[in-house]
Chain A
Amino acid sequence: MFRIIRKSLATGIVTGQYPASHATQEPVTPEAIEKAKPFRRSLTIREVDTGSCNACEMEMNALANPVYDVERFGVHIAASPRHTDALVVTGPVTVNMERALKDVYKQTPDPKLVIALGDCAINCGVFKGSYAVTGPVERHIPVDVRIAGCPPRPAEILAVLDRLRGARADAKK
């Protein structure tokens, strides 16, 4: 027990120890910010992978690590689409996942947002044109926010989520 406590005290607080994001992202549209208004202080997200290479998932998992700690912004990751406010979709929608994506969209209760994460979700990335890929996410379900990158860094994802939450620049993080 003491070993654990000593370790925690020695480690200290690591939250926030990441370089600021410099990548330019597409601005979040006013419609999306309006839609996200009810979720400003509490946004529950569910991740749906429709065929990504897994790097986007790893960056999303990184959001939950002690360094990025997305929960401090009121963003919570849910296990079921029934409990979510926003669907984060990654991957070029493959022919085998098309039905599952549409089902999840229907199962998520309104009001909801859809965030397309990564280049594959936005324009199919290197898989564009393949017989096994049906097209970007917006071909199947309406997309409110796009976060580009292959994969986008967790800091970049946080920056877009900040804008969505309408976080003021001088607000305490």
Chain B
Amino acid sequence: MNDGSAAVERIRGAFALAITDIGAVYGVPMLRVRKQDVPAVARYIHTDPHVRGSLSLLWAVDHRPREARYELCYLFTLAERKDWLLLSVDLTGGEREFLSITPMVHAAKWYEREIRDLFGLIPVGHPDLRRLVRHEHWPKGSHPLKKDFVWDQVLERVQGEYVFRKIHGDGVFEIPVGPIHAGIIEPGHFRFSVAGEPILQLEVRHFWKHRGVEKLFEQQRLTEAVPLAERVSGDTSVGHSLAYCQAVETLLGVTVPPRARYLRSIFLELERLHNHIGDVGAICNDTAYALAHAHCGRMKEQLMQLNDRLTGSRFLRGVNRVGGVSRDLSGAQLSQVEEELQAIEQEFTGIEHILFANASLTERLENTGVLSEGIAWDHAVMGVVGRASGIDRDLRRDRPFAAYRECPPRVAVYRYGDVRARMRVRLDEVHDSIRLIQTLRRQVPMGPLSTQAVEASMPGQWAIAAVEGWRGEILYVVMAGEEGRIHRCKVRDPSFVHWPAIQWAALGNIVPDFPLINKSFNLSYAGNDL
């Protein structure tokens, strides 16, 4: 397992005084750092050529009432072998301020604003201290994830204003779009500053769908919160529930039986498949190429009906449970899957030929919405969007989970970072998912479907799990509370990382290309807003 120990030695060498303790959380090295040294250590981890860590997650925990402190944790993924490294800082004695690392590590920008909104801890030095999650009508001092904030209270509405970044100049005007959009899509607000058609600036303002998911997790027991995890982002039910289950399984010391691991991989790939095929169709639809949209929509429908026949749910809900899976796939069902996927692969290849032969489609897709590798790296972009911009990361290969050690994926990486590259990544992943499912189905061992999870009281212990969902890396940090309950559950959908990046990809493009760029990212609003 990747253990980042070389990096730990380097950092210890460079910052001997700043680091007060070195420990580990289930194999991930954790450095306890002095509050005032965090920005320097973070800058070192991010920029030193031998370490090159990108910030994967930044979260806060309110340890009260057990301990009177807040803790801030920073998770870095080191570039070379994709090792993980944790930093931890305590805020005690009523301290509310911490030093922002955003000026050095841009990926921290939304995490720190989120911490400010949900915990009332202030990132000093952050370039943008406007509210993120709480909209302007939330009362001052309402910080939902603090332990003294009652989960089911009724919030009052106050007068407030959210100030958008403005660009001034002759002929510059603003186009506000949303929260309710023209299609059947989730709510979010986009404010374009344009001079004619080209976009000078795009500001994304979300969190309209904030449902209080992390606080709702804290009201549940460790073994029972899977249905909530499935509904964080409805099109990623398998990805989110798998990440949640893996975190709890690490905590409770449960070993998932081999058959369950293989079935979990099959379900995850089935989810990846129907979403990618739907996305390819939707990208074409946004260039008005309705034929491709119709064919892809038809194939996606076939796959969802297959999911329904296999598990009783078109979205594969109810398949994951803590300890394994709750549904089996019989030999007959697996043969059915193989047959249907062979047919779909042939059909999909035919559609690909039609797509590549279409010059006017290529004209729209090429050089549109370019997200450069440099910006992608600075903002810790990964997943489909990252792989289209040269960021070679895929958790299935780098930190294998479920059955991916036995059946590794072939990772598709493209350099151009335009809409066409993002579509190419999806096209390649469709073929690879089909190949993976065929391989998994042939190798799936017999055996039990799950291991009984015995609840234990382990207040304060926590574990991180990461799953490569179809959009990208899904991270769950689960901390146990008293008597089998959850004390803190940090959920991070890849969309939270990518929404800020889309503001960069849109620059210089014309407004009518924005729906195309947005569709090529296809980010979850619900997964972002929680």
**Most chain B CB atoms below 10 A, which of A47, A58, A64:** A58
Give Cα distance in the complex from A62 to B184, angstroms: 10
Stretch at the interface among A25-33, A36-44, A122-130, A159-167: A122-130
Query: Is the beta-carbon distance between A96 and B298 smaller than 8 angstroms?
Result: no
User: Quick check: A67 and B301 within 8 Å, CB to CB?
Assistant: yes
A136 on the B face (CB < 8 A): no
Residues of chain B with a CB closer than 8 A to A129's CB = 151-152
* Interface set, chain B 244-279, CB cutoff 8 A to A: none
Residues of A within 8 Å of B298, CB to CB, are: 11, 14, 65-67
Q: Tell me, yes or no, whether B327 is within 8 Å of chain A by CB.
A: no
Whether A49 sits at the interface, judged by CB under 8 Å, is yes
What A residues does B215 contact at CB under 8 A? 130-131
Q: What separation, in Å, do the CA atoms of A96 and B152 have in the docked complex?
A: 16
B185 and A49 contact, CB distance less than 8 A:
yes
Q: Report A8 CB to chain B, min CB distance, Å.
A: 8
Q: Give Cα distance in the complex from A136 to B350, angstroms.
A: 45
Within residues 43 to 65 of chain A, which ones have a CB less than 8 A from any CB in chain B?
47-62, 64-65
Residue of chain A at shortest CB distance from B358: A4
Note all chain B residues with C-beta closer than 8 A to A173. none
Question: How far apart are the CA atoms of A131 and B291 in the complex, in Å?
Answer: 44
Q: Do residues A96 and B135 form an inter-chain contact, with CB atoms below 8 A?
A: yes
Contacting residue for B212 out of A49, A91, A99, A130, CB 8 A: A130
Q: How many angstroms between the C-alpha atoms of A88 and B149 in the bound complex?
A: 33
Contact with A58, one of B235, B294, B350 (Cβ below 8 angstroms): B235
A binding-site residues for B, Cβ under 8 Å:
3-4, 7-8, 11, 14, 18-19, 47-62, 64-68, 77, 79-81, 91-92, 94-97, 99-100, 104, 125-127, 129-133, 150-151, 153
A65 touching B211 by the CB < 8 A rule?
no
Whether B210 contacts A52 by the Cβ 8 Å rule is no
A55 to B316, CA, bound (A): 11
A-B interface, 8 closest residue pairs, ranked by CB to CB distance from nearest = A55-B234, A53-B234, A65-B297, A79-B182, A132-B212, A130-B212, A54-B234, A129-B152
Selected interface stretch from B85-93, B97-105, B224-232: B224-232
Contact across chains for A49 and B211 when beta carbons are under 8 A apart: no
CA distance A94 to B232 in the complex (A): 14
Complexed CA–CA distance, A158 and B510 (Å): 38
For B317, the chain A residues whose CB sits under 8 A away are 150
Q: Which of B186, B300, B308, B354 is within 8 Å of A65, CB to CB?
A: B300
**Are A54 and B526 in contact (CB-based, < 8 A)?**
yes
Candidates B209, B212, B305; contact of A19 at CB < 8 Å: B305
Known contacts A53-B233, A54-B525, A61-B184: does B138 contact A130 (CB below 8 Å)? no
What size tier do the contact residues of chain B reach? Answer: 35 or more
In the bound assembly, the distance between CA atoms of A95 and B207 in angstroms comes to: 10
Cβ-defined contact, A131 with B149, below 8 A: yes
Contact B216 A11 (CB under 8 A): no
Main secondary structure of the interface of B (DSSP, over half): loop
Contacting residues, chain B, for A151 (C-beta < 8 A): 234, 315
Complex: how many Å from CA A4 to CA B352?
A: 11
Q: Which residues of B contact A58 (CB under 8 A)?
A: 234-235, 315
| A-B contacts, 26 listed (Cβ < 8 Å) | A3-B350, A3-B354, A19-B305, A19-B308, A50-B187, A51-B208, A51-B211, A53-B233, A54-B526, A55-B231, A57-B184, A66-B297, A66-B298, A80-B182, A91-B209, A95-B210, A97-B179, A97-B187, A97-B208, A100-B187, A127-B213, A131-B154, A131-B215, A132-B144, A133-B212, A151-B315
Interface status of B40 (Cβ within 8 A of chain A): no
A139 to B441, CA, bound (A): 48
B301 in contact with A65 (CB, 8 Å): yes
Min C-beta distance of B231 to chain A, whole Å: 4
* A94 and B182 contacting across the interface, CB-CB below 8 Å: no
B209 touches A60 (CB 8 A): no
CA A121 – CA B505 in complex, angstroms?
34
- Shortest Cβ distance from residue B270 to the other chain A in the assembled complex, whole angstroms: 15
- Residues of chain A lying within 8 A (CB to CB) of residue B183: 79
Q: Which residue of chain B lies nearest to A119 when distances are taken between CB atoms in the complex?
A: B231
0 or 1 for each of B105-138: is its CB under 8 Å from A? (1 = yes) = 0000000000000000000000000000001011
Among B149, B231, B351, the most chain A Cβ lie within 10 Å of the Cβ of B231
**Central interface residue in B154, B179, B207, B215, by most chain A CB within 10 Å:** B179
Whether B291 contacts A4 by the Cβ 8 Å rule is yes
B155 within 8 A of A: yes
Q: Is B410 an interface residue (CB 8 A)?
A: no
Q: Name, among B152, B184, B213, the residue most crowded by chain A CB atoms within 10 Å (CB to CB).
A: B184
**Cβ contact within 8 Å between B295 and A7:** yes
Alpha-carbon gap, A64 to B208, bound state (A): 26
Are the C-beta atoms of B152 and A130 separated by less than 8 Å?
Answer: yes
Q: B301 to A132, Cβ gap below 8 A?
A: no
Chain A residues, CB < 8 A from B187: 49-50, 97, 100
Cβ contact within 8 Å between A7 and B315: no
CB-based contact A3/B357 at 8 Å: yes
- Near A by CB (< 8 A), chain B positions 196-232 give 207-213, 215-216, 227-228, 231-232
Inter-chain contacts of B524 with A (CB < 8 A): 54
Known: A96-B209, A130-B152. A54 touches B350 (CB 8 A): no
Whether B325 is near chain A, meaning CB under 8 Å from some CB there, is: no
**Cross-chain contact A11 with B295 (CB below 8 angstroms):** yes
Q: Are B208 and A100 in contact (CB under 8 A)?
A: yes
> How far apart are A62's CB and chain B's nearest CB, in angstroms?
6
Q: How far is the CB of B92 from chain A (nearest CB, A)?
A: 27
A10 to chain B, nearest CB (A): 9
Residue B486 interfacial (CB < 8 Å): no
Beyond A11-B295, A48-B180, A151-B315, whether A127 also contacts B212 by CB under 8 A is: yes
Which chain B residues border A125 with CB–CB below 8 Å? 231
Whether the pair A54, B182 counts as a contact (CB closer than 8 A) is no
Contact B231 A131, beta carbon cutoff 8 Å: no
B314 touches A (CB below 8 Å): yes
Q: Please encode chain B, from 306 to 338, with 1 for each CB lying within 8 Å of some chain A CB and 0 for all others.
A: 001000001101000000000000000000000
Nearest-CB residue, chain A, relative to B275 = A58
